Amino acid sequence: MKLSDASLRQIEAAHPGRSTWLAANAGSGKTRVLTDRVARLLLDGVMPQNILCLTYTKAAASEMQNRLFKRLGRWTMLDDVTLLEELAALGVERDLGPDDIDRARTLFARAVEAPGGLKIQTIHSFCAAILRRFPLEAGVNPQFVEIDERAQNLLLDEVVEAIADGQ
């Protein structure tokens, strides 16, 4: 099967041994590429708790996690030939054999049972976790709370009103 240039670039971007900066329009396959990359890392033996995926939105983080778990769960049920075809379609460059089949079939359980879980989260939640872990080093109050969107809008309105009043 001949792949398009875009598909080949996506496979290359998903290669776990290469650094990649991924920027593209909505609906262009970024989530698929990142999900492929995580799947390949797991296939290469990286422990799930050692993988961190950061996205901009909660929806994107949730979508990525759902897609990844759906794929890993599906791999547990596929026959050997179909599973090998799916692994090859990810762009795995080595010869795939029985060990790869066994590993792929255990990835779902390993990801679900990973200490601390598979970390797919927003940049904001990651930064908040670091601040909660090291508040003194960051110079923040240990009891800080993140502002929610409603409170943010109220505060912004107060600031704009104060500026308009010349304060």
| pLDDT single digits (tens) 64-116 | 999 999 999 999 999 999 998 888 888 877 787 888 888 899 989 898 888 87
Question: What is the reported pLDDT for 93?
Answer: 72
Question: What is the reported pLDDT for 1?
Answer: 58
Rounded Cα distance, 1 and 88, in Å: 12
What CATH code would you report for 5-164? Answer: 3.40.50.300
pLDDT digits (tens, 9 = 90+) for 17-62: 767 777 777 777 788 888 888 998 999 888 998 888 888 888 889 9
Question: What is the reported pLDDT for 160?
Answer: 92
* Residue 35, helix vs strand vs coil: helix
Q: How confident is the model at residue 3 (pLDDT cuts 50, 70, 90)?
A: low
User: What's the predicted TM-score (pTM) here?
Assistant: 0.76
User: Which of these, 50, 60, 1, lies nearest to 30 by C-alpha position?
Assistant: 60
Rounded Cα distance, 163 and 122, in Å: 32
DSSP codes, 112-126:
HHSTT--EEEEHHHH
**Under 8 Å between Cβ of 51 and 41:** yes
pLDDT, the chain, mean:
86
**Phi, psi (rounded to 5 degrees) for 136:** -65, -45
Cα-Cα-Cα-Cα dihedral sign, residues 14, 83, 5, 59? negative
Helix axes 58-75, 98-113, angle to 10 degrees: 140
